[in-house]
Chains A and B, each alone.
Chain A
Amino acid sequence: MKDEVLEILWTKLVEGGLDSIGSEEIILGEQGPANGRILKDLAEEGMISLEEDRVNLTDSGFEEARMTIRRHRLSERLFNDVFEVYHEEFESPACRFEHMLIRPKLEKKICELLGHPKTCPHNRPIPVGECCHRAEMRTDKAVVPMSKLRQGESGVIAYVHTGDSDKLKKLMAMGILPGEDVSLERRFPSFVFRVGYSRFAVDEGMAAAIFVRRPAENPTEETL
């Protein structure tokens, strides 16, 4: 599959920070021979450069791989957050589903539905799309870290994202989980919020790890 090869290239080259990789890294295992053919095709299409068995993405290849990864991770988010299908279970349907997102309008809709997520369920970054940019320009984004909520605002916890698993564990132990209703009562001197029938106080660092989906304030904007 062409997409898979592009995804591998993206994770290794862009996210892995390598200058180029050997083509043998892609022509491996069962898929090896097929991947070898795909590499040649991609080179013909001008998506990759193939010199002395070193593979690199060209500018158009970079953009293509970026969008492929975006569609892939968006579908993962969709299956995880909306359909509540988890993990290995969603790998294959998500894979098939991502091809539907080639239609830009659908991709945009899904991205909006999910509140322009920043990461996939595996905590890998989702490349930013047009709609995300536009959403960011608007003052109100659909999903924001709690540290950006205004005093008195409420929403639903979309996901908890933090660089360190300790913070995640603490938040989860307190029952601060995706899907819970949350309302922010106070921002200073600490963040005070209500989840269920409990109230919590956290510092700014912890509040920044809790991402909250704001209720759609202006439904007409959704249909833009």
Chain B
Amino acid sequence: MVGNPNVGKSALFNRLTGSYAVVSNYPGTTVAITTGRMKIAGKDYSVVDTPGMYSLYPITDEERVGRRMLLDGGYEVVLHVVDAKNLTRMIHLTMQLKEAGIPVILVLNIMDEAEETGLVIDIETLEKRLGIPVVPTVGIAGKGVRRLKEVIENYRPDSRNFHVDFSLAVEKASREIAPLLPPTSLSSRALSLLALQEDRDVLELISRLPRDRADRIIGVIDALKRELDHPVNYDITMGLGRRAGQVLEGIIAKRERKTRFTRDFLDRILISPWTGVPILLLVLYFGFYKFVGGFGAGVVVDFLEGHIFGKYLIPFINHWTEQLIPWPILQNLIAEDYGVLTLGVRYAVAIILPIVGTFFIVFSVVEDSGYLPRLSLLIDRVFKWVGLSGRAVIPMTLGFGCGTMATVVTRTLESTRERVIATILLALAIPCSAQLGVIFALAANSPGVLVTWIGTVSAVFLFIGYLTARIIPGRQPDFFMELPPLRMPRLANVWLKTSSRMRWYFVEILPLFLLASVLIWAGNVTGIFPILLKLLAVPTRAIGLPNEAAQAFLFGFFRRDYGVAGLYDIQQRGLLTGNQLAVATITLTLFLPCIAQFLVMMKERGLKMALGVAVFVFPFAFLVGGSVNFMLKVLGLTL
């Protein structure tokens, strides 16, 4: 399956396979390729969903992924999924696929919205002109899916050629190099057009050819470039546009559009700064502070942690471990203060899971409604200041859920520069939902702490963002984004999305929590931890915190949220004053990202970058914490 971002590919994928891929109403959230199984008339098919793709010529790395799959082949048929109301624009890729000799079925998805807009499409004529099957669907409701399966089952490749005429210069150059190119799943004509646009992957294929052949091809490309004075891509797009006009001539009729007063009104107030910013604050307050912080981190955590674990499970586990295992060392591995069950499982299940779960519920609703693109355009100007574009709202917002996941999603950003800046900010100044939840719970009774924390962390975000944007070379990113219509989130979809994200998170973190508690146990047994704790106690005391906080920092090294959860314990024991709480939460928020995020940073940005961030963040967190402590003292404030 290929197609533009946000045409409902993932929803259709789910309908076809019955399995689940994360579906979102936000361009570019399908980062990885998702594969599922589908059965039609007893025959097994494997369905592959690709990240969004605008044209055969990719711009972002994400698009490259899908295109590489097209080049590699190994598919029976490609479903090109388009948003029916934008057929005029999206048919370009259909024609490119057809011209490239790829077996393709055109799926006109989101047909309901097209009909609502008043569009009527003559599907039969369209099929004839393109020489491929065309199937209308409403993926999210499952309409037309059965028919699509029938069409897939009976699909026979159409050997007729489809030809798009480009400018004479391009045609000539294409004919010259086509016979020189290596064979791929694309027709040599399609490959030659990509070569003329200097597509990275195709140039690489060419570089592997014998020297003289490669040189001849490059010679033709260079000559064309000199001749044209504008990007070759321009000619190609214009050619496709003309051909699209021919194919669609008389096919789309327009009836009167129903006006959608409520939706238009909502849309307007979301993107106007005067109403949009207050709405954003409301979403943050009710969605995150009240629901995630109050309900998730308060009510649910209290119940699970205080009631289920504290009253029943922990005493039970401690009792039976003492009964069954005679050696205190092993007792400590499983139970007591730092046991795998009493610390690892308790933190993961009773504290972190409810918080992350409630966050993902809110995020899924927000994502499905189409609010995020509107937030992007609202915030673009602010983000430009820190060297990012409004597009970075997705990874940044997702970072409030899980920094690890968000670091992976920075792939959707356009330039390496943006990705680096986003990675640094995610590691430093964006607290994940686990941290947020606990911090909200910690600061619930002292608004002063909360204000100091928000103020300091936002200042650090802006300041460090501003600095990195000035230091890292490269130009400011462009902001451009399609605004999908606002859609009412569907309960079933929100639930599927939340549960699959929670499953992902749980599978990912539980082993790490267990590993961390084993490491802490080993550290204690071998005597390394007491030494490290003593060392950490020095800067901890220096910023005015009790010795016990050093432990939270050390645990935070294994998982950032683990550390905050530890802080929660300390505060419950009444060991922190308001000022200390503020300093501790600030330092911990800025402190090193968790092991998982560190590993992902290494994978995505390289070891050097990951280590560099670590080396910077460690002293910086303490420096900021210390300064806040000092300022509070100088100003004589007690929070």
Q: Which of A's residues lie within 8 Å of B, judged by CB? A: 84, 86-89, 121-124, 165-175, 177-179, 186, 188-190, 192, 196-203, 205-206
Contacts and interface: CB of A to CB of B under 8 A. Distances in A.
B8 to A, nearest CB: 14
A199 to B, nearest CB: 4
B315 interface: no
Contacts of B230: 121-123, 165
A86 B92 CA distance: 20
Interface string B462-483: 0000000000000010111111
Nearest to A201: B377
A88 B238 CA distance: 15
Q: Is the interface of B mostly helix, strand, loop or mixed?
A: helix
Contacts of B169: 87-88
A121 B169 CA distance: 15
Contacts of A167: 478
A199 B271 CA distance: 12
Contact of B479 (A86, A166, A190): A190
Interface stretch (B82-90, B306-314, B452-460, B628-636): B82-90
B231 A192 contact: no
Interface residues of B, number: 47
A189 B377 contact: yes
Given A170-B478, A173-B55, A201-B271, 18 more contacts: A87-B167, A88-B167, A121-B230, A122-B228, A168-B234, A172-B237, A190-B377, A190-B479, A192-B483, A196-B89, A197-B85, A197-B117, A199-B482, A200-B483, A201-B483, A203-B478, A205-B476, A206-B480
Interface string B390-423: 1000000000000000000000000000000000
B86 A173 contact: no
Interface stretch (B182-190, B291-299, B359-367, B378-386): B378-386
A122 B377 contact: no
15 contacts: A86-B168, A169-B233, A172-B233, A172-B237, A173-B59, A174-B89, A174-B480, A175-B92, A178-B238, A197-B117, A198-B482, A201-B376, A201-B377, A201-B479, A203-B478
B378 A189 contact: yes
A172 B167 CA distance: 17
B168 A203 contact: no
Contact of B478 (A86, A192, A206): A206
Identify the 7 closest CB pairs spanning chains A and B, nearest first. A175-B89, A201-B377, A203-B479, A122-B229, A190-B377, A173-B54, A165-B231
Nearest to B277: A189
Nearest to B379: A189
Nearest to B272: A186
A177 B238 contact: yes
A193 B379 CA distance: 17
A201 B276 CA distance: 15
B234 A172 contact: yes
A123 to B, nearest CB: 5
Given A168-B233, A174-B54, A188-B273, A89 B168 contact: yes
B37 to A, nearest CB: 32
B58 to A, nearest CB: 9
B86 A202 contact: no
B389 interface: yes
Interface in B126-185: 167-169
A166 B234 CA distance: 11
Nearest to B380: A190
B373 interface: yes
Contacts of A86: 167-168, 235, 238
A177 B242 CA distance: 11
A203 B380 contact: yes
B241 interface: yes
Contacts of A174: 54, 89, 480, 482
Contact of A189 (B55, B117, B273): B273
A91 B273 CA distance: 50
Nearest to B485: A199
A170 B233 CA distance: 11
Contacts of B114: 197
Nearest to A200: B482
B555 to A, nearest CB: 41
Given A122-B230, A169-B59, A169-B231, A203 B373 contact: no
Given A190-B381, A206-B478, A123 B273 contact: no
A203 B482 contact: no
Contacts of B228: 122
Contacts of A197: 85-86, 114, 117, 119
B241 A177 contact: yes
Nearest to B170: A87
Contacts of A186: 271-272
Contact of A192 (B55, B233, B271): B271
B475 to A, nearest CB: 9
B271 A196 contact: no
Nearest to A165: B231
A171 B478 CA distance: 11
A165 B480 contact: no
A168 B479 contact: no
Interface string B86-106: 101110100000000000000
A87 B59 CA distance: 26
A55 to B, nearest CB: 24
Contact of B390 (A87, A166, A190): A190
B479 A206 contact: yes
Contacts of B119: 197
A91 B233 CA distance: 21
Nearest to A205: B478
Nearest to A121: B230
A122 B234 CA distance: 11
Interface string B403-446: 00000000000000000000000000000000000000000000
A207 to B, nearest CB: 10
A198 B89 contact: yes
A64 to B, nearest CB: 24
Q: Among A86, A122, A196, which residue has the most Cβ atoms of chain B within 10 A?
A: A86
Contacts of A169: 57, 59, 231, 233
Contacts of A203: 380-381, 384, 389-390, 478-480
A201 B373 contact: yes
Contacts of A189: 273, 377-381
Contacts of A201: 271, 373, 376-377, 380, 390, 479-481, 483
Contacts of A188: 273
Interface string B223-245: 00000111101110110011000
A52 B230 CA distance: 37
Given A173-B59, A177-B237, A206-B480, A168 B384 contact: no
Contacts of A190: 377-378, 380-381, 390, 479
A205 B477 CA distance: 10
A169 B114 CA distance: 27
Contacts of B85: 197-198
Contacts of B229: 122-124
Contacts of A173: 54-55, 59
